[in-house]
């Protein structure tokens, strides 16, 4: 590198720094600094003189620094291939987590078909996500130990949905299994809080048919779809 245009003191300081730091990157930094010093000194000259000095410096500098000299960080390719799930794969995952949480796999598969038709990319207008159409509320995410982005993972979504259904089902204060099943499905679709309030308002020995009629139309249609997928007649 030609440092002749620098003053002796500046040239000596830069040269010593470059020798002391025996690395390619440090030398490039020294070269860049030298150019900066020459360029800044041009401000104290006339326009024509400064232009000539700077152009002369660049012309005689045989080791012009450039970004090409600096090794760029290598971008790692994402080696993780996106997994494609078939409906059979999803049914197997539902079966696995249903058994783990003590639920009927056939019922949970029927629920998943009613929720999303087993579509892992499903997202409702209200914001429910994935196979089990889990709402990314703070309570749901904390309960499942997930972030919102993790709900887009089919396996985590399925496990979360099944855990939520089990939690809801256990909160239904009814002994009759058939009625409890219908109230559990209604709570998964309509909300646990609404169903618990409805139970409190109803007469103690209300029939399934009477309770079913109290649900909103969307929830009644949802329960009907689950039972159709479950291959069981709706007991009303």
Q: How far apart are CA 203 and CA 60, in angstroms?
A: 98
* Chain Cα centroid distance, residue 193: 28
Q: Flag whether the pTM goes above 0.85.
A: no
Question: Which helix H or strand E contains 43, and what residues bound it?
Answer: none
Alpha carbon distance 66, 209 (integer Å): 80
Q: What is the pLDDT of residues 90-111, one digit of tens each?
A: 999 999 999 999 999 999 999 9
End-to-end CA separation in angstroms for the chain: 92
What is the pLDDT at residue 63?
53
CA distance 213 to 3: 91
Cα separations in angstroms, 25 against 54, 133, 147, 161, 216? 23, 53, 41, 53, 70
Query: According to CATH, what is the number of the domain 87-229?
Result: 1.10.530.10
pLDDT digits 0-9 by tens, 53-71:
555 655 665 554 444 444 4
Give the domain ranges of the chain: 8-60, 87-229
**pLDDT value for 121:** 96
């Amino acid at each position: 590198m030609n440092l002749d245009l620098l003053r002796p003191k500046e040239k000596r300081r830069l040269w010593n720094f470059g020798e002391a730091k025996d690395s390619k990157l440090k030398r490039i930094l020294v070269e860049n600094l030298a150019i900066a010093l020459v360029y800044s000194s041009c401000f104290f000259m006339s326009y024509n003189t400064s232009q000539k000095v700077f152009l002369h410096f660049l012309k005689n500098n045989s080791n012009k620094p450039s970004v090409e000299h600096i090794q760029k960080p290598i971008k790692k390719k994402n080696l993780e291939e996106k997994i494609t799930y078939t409906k059979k794969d999803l049914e197997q995952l539902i079966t696995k987590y249903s058994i783990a949480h003590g639920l009927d796999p056939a019922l949970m598969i029927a629920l998943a078909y009613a929720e999303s038709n087993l579509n892992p990319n499903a997202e409702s207008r209200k914001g429910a996500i994935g196979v089990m159409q889990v709402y990314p509320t703070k309570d749901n995410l904390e309960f499942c130990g997930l972030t919102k982005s993790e709900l887009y993972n089919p396996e985590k979504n399925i496990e979360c949905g099944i855990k939520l259904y089990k939690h809801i089902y256990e909160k239904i204060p009814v002994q009759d299994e058939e009625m409890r099943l219908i109230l559990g499905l209604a709570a998964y679709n309509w909300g646990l809080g609404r169903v618990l309030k409805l139970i409190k308002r109803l007469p103690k020995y209300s029939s399934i048919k009477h309770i079913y009629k109290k649900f909103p139309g969307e929830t009644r249609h949802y329960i009907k779809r689950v039972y159709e997928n479950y291959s069981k007649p709706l007991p009303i």
